[in-house]
Amino acid sequence: MDRLNIEANSCLLCKNPRCTKNCPVSTPIPEIIQLFKDNQIEKAGEILFNNNPLSAICAVVCAHENQCSGNCIKGIKGEPVEFYEIEKYISNKYLETTPFKKPRKMLNDRIAIVGSGPAGITIAFILAMKGYKVTIFESKDKIGGVLRYGIPEFRLPKDILDTLYDRLLELGVKIRFNTLIGPVITIDKLFYDGYKAIFLGTGVWNAKLLNIKGESLGNVHFAIDYLKKPDPFRLGNKVCIIGAGNVAMDAARTAKAHGAEDVCILYRKGFEDMSATKAEIKDTIKDGIHFELFKSPIELCEDGVKYIETNRIVDEEGNVRTVPIDGSEGFYKCDSIIVAIGQTPRNNIVANNKGFETSMKGLLVVDDIGHTSVDGVFASGDVVTGSRTVVEAVNFAKIVAKSIDDYCTSNR
């Protein structure tokens, strides 16, 4: 608490806060800090939750360096206020101590939410608190989606998700686990059973391919599969991760934590071009992972990775591209390879239900308020945008929740 008080007291409580302006969900940071200083923790927690039901999670996994802390006025000449530490304390306290109750007035409208990732959880909370009868259909045995199965425990403790699960149940949300919507229970079946609106938040669970030779070999794994449950994997002593986003860093750190002695990240560009946050890269280096930069894989083999060295080229408009250097082929010897270059959506729903418009990448096409090409069906999250941050998923989910509410209201 002493550290949090120091952080709170160092805040300038700016009248036009850049931190709030650069937060995707416009968290009223000065207001929350003032409430914290006044010891009004429950009120601060309520404001944070109503603004962002996943506040406790965003406080942990957000790219703070690009948002609140990165835009703190104090950070220009000194250390920025670490608001996310205060947010984490308040949000967890609120979830753990404040009872959630069903609304006094329940509505007759039934809403189906397919997928319990960040978008699905957000919409479930918002609509349940408005009195809707909400049922979540989750293909796995626990809620959370990418939060549970894509982010390691050391970065996001899963007890936060278990607490959110308890709060959803208190609000009357029904959850059907191990239930895949699409092939057996179709969209038409959901409407037939009386659901007024359907939300699709199924995420992106298919790995993106490098499209080079060797990706089906026994020593090659996809990060999205590895991170779901790393314990059964026996990767050997030397592991190579291909990619440089947060998922690649998570896979590398997880492999190291599970006993791999030598873990490296092989990337075709340099540190300045990595999509992973600076904090994630720093933690990865701290864990003893090393980097093989400006190397582009050209074939995956049973004993390692064939690569070609690259040059970084920046054009007049600032666009960065890499070009292979002729005659610079090399080989990185390793026991296992993990490919971590992104994910794409599965097509369970699109393949088994007519009328859905998709993009060339297989993502669901929606309008600016989340309505798909099928009446009464809405979508948001990674299945619409591709892999994005949790807070971005929450931001659009709030828009879609209002859209669903408006749709149901106008069709009563």
Return the CATH number at 149. Answer: 3.50.50.60
Q: Evaluate if residue 412 carries a pLDDT over 80.
A: no
Count the domains in the chain.
3
Q: Is 411 exposed, middle or buried (0-12, 13-18, 19+ CB in 10 A)?
A: exposed
Q: Can you give the pLDDT at residue 126?
A: 98
Q: How far apart are CA 168 and CA 327, in angstroms?
A: 59
Q: Can you give the pLDDT at residue 337?
A: 98
CB 267 within 8 A of CB 320: no
Residues 334 and 212 in one domain: yes
Mean pLDDT for 190-206 is 93
Domain limit, last residue, from 314, 339, 364:
339
Residues 172 and 226 in one domain: no
Q: What is the mean pLDDT of the chain?
A: 94
pLDDT digits (tens, 9 = 90+) for 300-350: 999 999 999 999 998 888 888 899 999 999 999 999 999 999 988 877 788
pLDDT band for 369, please (50, 70, 90 cuts).
very high
Min mean pLDDT across 108-112, 261-265, 313-317 is at 313-317
Mean pLDDT for 107-133 is 97
Q: pTM for this structure? A: 0.93
Residues 350 and 287 in one domain: no
Domain that holds residue 272: 207-339
The candidate with the shortest Cα–Cα distance to 253, out of 120, 140, 154, is 154
Residues 211 and 331 in one domain: yes
Residues 184 and 241 in one domain: no
Task: Give the position of tokens 């948001």.
Answer: 380
Mean pLDDT for 377-393 is 90
Q: Is 318 exposed, middle or buried (0-12, 13-18, 19+ CB in 10 A)?
A: exposed
Mean pLDDT for 232-236 is 97
pLDDT band for 249, please (50, 70, 90 cuts).
very high
